[in-house]
Amino acid sequence: MSQPAQPGYPFSAVVGHADLRLSLLLNAVHPGIGGVLVRGEKGTAKSTVVRALAALLPPVEVVSGCRFSCDPTAPDPRCPDGPHAAVVADHRAARLVELPVGATEDRLIGSLDLERALSEGVRAYQPGLLAAAHRGVLYVDEVNLLHDHLVDLLLDAAAMGRAHVEREGVSVSHAASFLLVGTMNPEEGELRPQLLDRFGLTVEVRAARDIDTRTEVIRRRLAFETDPAGFAAEWTAADAELAERIVAARAALPGVALPDAELRRIASVCASFDVDGMRADLVVARTAVAHAAWRGAAAVAEADIAVAARLALPHRRRRDPFDEPGLDQEQLDQALRDAAADADQEPPTPDDDPTPDGPGGGGSPADGDDNGGQTPNGRHTEAPRGGDHTQAPTRPDEAFRARVLEIAGVGEGAPGRRSRSRAGAGRALRASTTQGSGIHLVGTVTAAAPFQHDRGRDGTALIVRPGDVRRAVREGRESNLVLFAVDASGSMAARKRMAAVTGAVLSLLRDAYQRRDKVGLITFRGGAAELALPPTSSVEAAVARLRDLRTGGRTPLADGLLRARKILAVERLRDPRRRALLVVVTDGRATVAATGRTGDPVTDALRAASVLAAEGVASIVVDCESGPVRLGLAGRLAVALGATGLRLEDLSADTVAGVVRAARAA
């Protein structure tokens, strides 16, 4: 006998997180807002709140037997299970469908039942998660770790309300209208700004620092774990009230007026934040209408726009991948005052927490010697001989579009955009019985064709057995671990050269962000190497460390290389499939022997480089030496590493393109 399902944590019992609760409720009222992206540190009850929302949604009436949840009052004329002639209605709860990080494209949008298609001669289609989520909630935990092409697919479906499948000569389209909720921990990497913009609203959640609030979170969570059913029963009335309010707001939504004066206010606020495109204006308008319906008003007011702007604009202000997300409340207030002044109105006074009050509220759970450098005022100084002179951080030069750095060969690592790999998406190379993903149609038909007579084929349909199925081996792109080893010694810091160096590394970091790489940062100066940033998917953290980089002192190049070797060894154990690319940024002027040695520093550095080369580490040496007299030490280092050597000025993709154009013109 099956056990009854354990009740989930009640939505009304969540402590705090007012903006998160409000964003979810407004999307439940008006799915056209475009969903919610929830950003926050681990352990802040993001998943708990999202899962609790599904229980508040009203039941849906569906066509009996329809796998695509068609509304019996208005069946989808293009439903793959249609046409629905004699409609029989069923009632069921709104679904919460979860998309796992490891999901494939077939799992998301659906796939063809190839065996039925070939053996029965029908275009059989197996629905995916988008079909299951229709008229419900699609929840994507760790959406920032989902492959970009899957994020594109689900956001397109969310925006259009339909999913389209075009493959192997079969075309299927079905309704896919759902409340999209994505959660992410920014420490694990960011979404691209282009994808951020596709989410309607965004919310930052943090654990409360107030002792009383934290105490109440613990108290309620322990009570729920002790007696889930009893705890849920205590909040049944509060959740029922919210559910009724959602139904009432949905019914009132079409009748809410949006006056022209408020439309102008929305346009004025969005223009003042200089957001790209018109999506922000539309989202703010829809959210303001939903908020007015939620509070029972007949028309949108200034306070509704203030709330909508606070939720819809923060993630749309990022002009660069490394811009800090968020919204300056003072700037928003000023923008609203300016808009009010244009309309000769008073500034708004939005409610800080417009959500209903339940019991207890509701969130939860440059060359020079090694001692020379550049002072902040731009004057060149000399430190005492034999000492390690530390300078304040140097402001990096402006970042540029970096040339593509790749690892030779073909890997099988995490999906990304840098190096070639055997992947689940990309160009089909061949058919295989053991490798690959998805069906290789031609290979499957070819394998089945010779046996049709023996299988008693007497019609036009091809008889296919499981052993005939061939998978497609595809070549795509993978992300890599890009480990930067940056020389921060005095010889690199002189004559403002460190500004150019850090600007170049910043450009490479931006490129790593766009290609979905994991990055780490080692710096070496003075007497030792330092792991400034352990390998992480959060490139923003690397940028923060780089901008705070202090320089000066001697050059322990050998220790920097050996430290990189240790880091790479650990990462190979953690993630054997992810290939590493070591980028050494230096002028090659080693002045400190390896730890525990008293030999020649340059010899030690070359010996360390040879060890890395013997282990097959793919490397690139960025030669930062400048001036009329050059020793070529970075070039020798590149040879010892078996690495590609580049000049600092060659890192710009525009520079490389110019050289190619000049060569063609000649």
- Catalytic site positions: 279
What is the Cα–Cα distance from 381 to 123, expressed in whole angstroms?
77
Task: Let me know: does 574 contact 538? Beta carbons within 8 Å.
Answer: no
Pairing of strands 162-167, 170-175: antiparallel
Instruction: Kindly report the number of other CB atoms within 10 A of residue 454's CB atom.
Output: 8
What is the Cα–Cα distance from 173 to 81, expressed in whole angstroms?
11
DSSP 234: H
What is the Cα–Cα distance from 634 to 426, expressed in whole angstroms?
37
The one-letter code for the residue type at 529 is: A
DSSP E strands, 387-515: 415-423, 427-432, 471-478, 481-487
Chain-centroid distance, C-alpha 257: 36
What is the Cα–Cα distance from 81 to 221, expressed in whole angstroms?
44
Burial label for 214, CB within 10 Å (0-12, 13-18, 19+), is middle
Residue 79 CA: distances (Å) to CA of 63, 67, 157, 319, 465 = 11, 9, 15, 40, 29
- Phi-psi sector, 240: left (phi>0), alpha (psi -120 to 50), beta: alpha
What is the Cα–Cα distance from 256 to 291, expressed in whole angstroms?
10
Residues with Cβ within 8 Å of residue 104, at least 6 apart in sequence: 424, 437, 438
Instruction: Kindly report the number of other CB atoms within 10 A of residue 224's CB atom.
Output: 22
- Phi-psi sector, 581: left (phi>0), alpha (psi -120 to 50), beta: beta
- Provide long-range contacts, Cβ within 8 A and 24+ apart, for 165-172: 165/109, 165/110, 165/125, 167/112, 168/112, 168/114, 168/439, 168/441, 170/112, 170/117, 170/123, 170/125, 172/80, 172/110, 172/123, 172/125
> 432: which strand partners?
471
Residue 3 in tokens: 């056990």
Residue 40 CA: distances (Å) to CA of 26, 90, 101, 541, 597 = 20, 39, 18, 15, 46
Q: Report the 3 state secondary structure along 360-422.
A: CCCCCCCCCCCCEEECCCCCEEECCCCCCCCECCCCCCCCCCECCCCCCCCECCCEEEEEEEE
DSSP E strands, 178-242: 179-184, 201-205
Note the maximum CA span of the chain.
94
The one-letter code for the residue type at 95 is: R
Q: Report the 3 state secondary structure along 52-105.
A: HHHCCCCCEEEECCCCCCCCCCCCCCCCCCCCCCCCCEEEECCCEEECCCCCCH
The total number of residues written for the chain in this structure: 666
What is the Cα–Cα distance from 606 to 609, expressed in whole angstroms?
5
